[in-house]
Chains A and B, each alone.
Chain A
Amino acid sequence: MGGGQGRVMRPTPGHLVVAVVALVCGAASSAAPLRIAVASNFQHAFETVRTSLDAPADPTYGSTGLLYAQIMQGRTFDAFLSADRERPLKLVAQGRAFGPQVYARGSLVLLVNEDSPGPHWLTTDRRVALANPQTAPYGRAARQALDALGASPRLINGLNVAQAFHFAASGAANGAFVALAQVTAQGIAEKRYWLLPDRLHAPIEQVAVVMHGEREAEAQAWLAQLLGRDAQSLIGSAGYRVSGDVAGVDDSRD
C-alpha cells in the first residue's frame, strides 16, 4: 500500500480484474477495497472523507442494529463505524473486534417545518418524530433531552434518524429530532433547527472498531487515518464534533 497523499482511487477495469482474481484465488489482495460497515447517519460524512484516505473503502450503509446483526450472522467486514458505543464494545467483548475509537460525536438538533424552534416549541399538540429511543443513539439522546426539558409532544417513532428526518420532511410530523450531520448535508437553513445544548443529553459517541480478520492490519491503518487531523476536519465540517485528542474508549468512561 502506501500511495501518495490525496491519491484518488477510481474503479477501473484493471481494478475489477484484480478484484475478480483476488476473489477467485480466495486470497486477500491489497488492491481490493476494505469492506466497511457504516452507520447510516454517517453516510454523507463518509462520502466526503473516503476519497481523502489512502486505502479504497467499500462501504455498506445500514442501521447500526442491522449491521451488527449481520456481523453476528457471519458477514465479513474489515471495520465497523457504528452510531453508538454499545455494539462495537460488544463485538470487542466477544473477541470479534478490537481497538474501539470514537471517530465522531453526534450533535442532536430539533428540525421543524417552521422558523425559530426552541424548547418552547415542544408543546403537547405537536407531533415530533425521533429515532427509536430503544435502539438508536440519537433517539435515546432525544428522549433524554425531552425528559430534561419536561416536554411531552406527541412522539412518532422512526426506525432511525433518517426516517425521523423523512417524517418531518414529508410534512406528516411537525418536526423531528435528527442529527446535525443530516441538516448540514441537506443544507437546511439554520433558523429551521435548534441545536440542543450538550447538558440535555449524554454524549452521542460514535465508535469504530477494527474487525479481526486477514486484513485487520490494513483496516487498522485506514482507521488511524480516519482519526487523523485531515479526516477529522472533514468530519467536523460534515456536522459532527471532533475533539483534538480522539481518545480510545473504554467502559470506565461512562
Chain B
Amino acid sequence: MSVAEDILLSAWVTGLLALTTTAVLLLVSPPLAWWIAQTRSRWRPLVEAFVALPLVLPPTVLGFYLLLALAPGGPFGAIAQALGGAPLAFTFTGLVIGSIIYSLPFVTGPLSAAYRTTDGQLLEAAASLGASPTTRFLRLVLPLHRKALVAAGVLGFAHTVGEFGIVLMIGGNIPGETRVLSIALFDRVEMLDYAGAHAIAALLLAFAVIVLTFTYRWLRT
C-alpha cells in the first residue's frame, strides 16, 4: 500500500466514522439535552456528569475502560456476541461506540445550553393547545433551536475527525477498518515519514479551518 493509498483509506475511514458518529449523536443528543435542560429529577447532576466525563478525562482513560467493556468478557462485547455479532474491540462498530461516548458532550452540551434558553411561555402556550411533551419537543424546541443543532452536529463531526486517544486504545490500527487519519499521522511520525505526516496534518488542519469558518459564518446569518 502506497503512502497516498494509506492516507486516502484512512481519510475514508475517518469520514465514515465521523458521519456515523454524528448521525447517531444527532438522534441521541437532542432528547438527552432536552431532558437535562428541563428535568427536575435528582439524577440530573449524575447524568450530566457522565455526559461531561470525556471533557475532563484523558481519552486514554475512556479508551482503557472501553477496551475492557468491548472485549468478549465485557458488557458491550457480551451483548454484541449474544446478538450473534463479533466482539466489538478493534472493529469499526467499536470505534463508533467509542466516538459516540467521546463526542457526546460536544453535541449534548451546546444543545442543552441552547435548550435551557427556551421561552417557557411558548412551551405553556403549546401545552395549552394540546401539544404533548413529545410534540412540544419535536415541533417547538427542535425547530426553535435548529441552528444550535447544526452547530452541535458540526462540532461533533469535527471533534470525531480529530479523535486520537480513544481510537489509539480500542482501534487496533487496522487499515480500512480502524486506522483513522490521526493514527495514520502518528504512524508516519513513528516511521520518520515526515512528508506523509505533513500531508495528513495539513489535511486535518485545512478541514478544521474550513468547517469552523463556514459554520461560524452560517451561524451569523
Q: Which residues in A have some Cβ–Cβ distance to B below 8 Å?
A: 63, 65-66, 68-69, 127, 129, 132, 134-135, 154-159, 166-167, 170-173
Contact = CB atoms under 8 A, between A and B. Distances in A.
B7 to A, nearest CB: 14
Given A135-B190, A156-B174, A157-B173, A173 B168 contact: no
Contacts of A167: 67, 89-90, 172
Contacts of B70: 172
Counting from the closest, the 5 A-B pairs by CB-CB distance are A172-B89, A157-B173, A156-B172, A65-B190, A135-B190
Contact of B172 (A63, A129, A134): A129
Binding site of B, secondary structure by majority: helix, strand, loop or mixed? loop
A157 B173 CA distance: 5
Contacts, number: 65
Contacts of B190: 63, 65-66, 132, 134-135, 159
20 contacts: A63-B190, A65-B192, A66-B190, A68-B192, A69-B192, A127-B87, A127-B90, A132-B190, A154-B90, A156-B172, A158-B173, A159-B186, A159-B190, A166-B67, A167-B172, A170-B68, A172-B72, A172-B87, A172-B90, A173-B89
Contact of A173 (B90, B173, B186, B192): B90
B191 A134 contact: yes
Contacts of B179: 157
Contact-residue size bin, chain B (C-beta under 8 Å from the other chain)? 20 to 34
Which of A69, A127, A135, A170 gathers the greatest number of chain B CB atoms within 10 Å?
A: A170
A159 B90 contact: no
B93 to A, nearest CB: 14
A171 B68 CA distance: 7
B191 A135 contact: yes
Contact of B90 (A134, A156, A171): A156
Contacts of A154: 90
B203 interface: no
Interface string B165-185: 000101011100001000000
Contacts of B74: 171
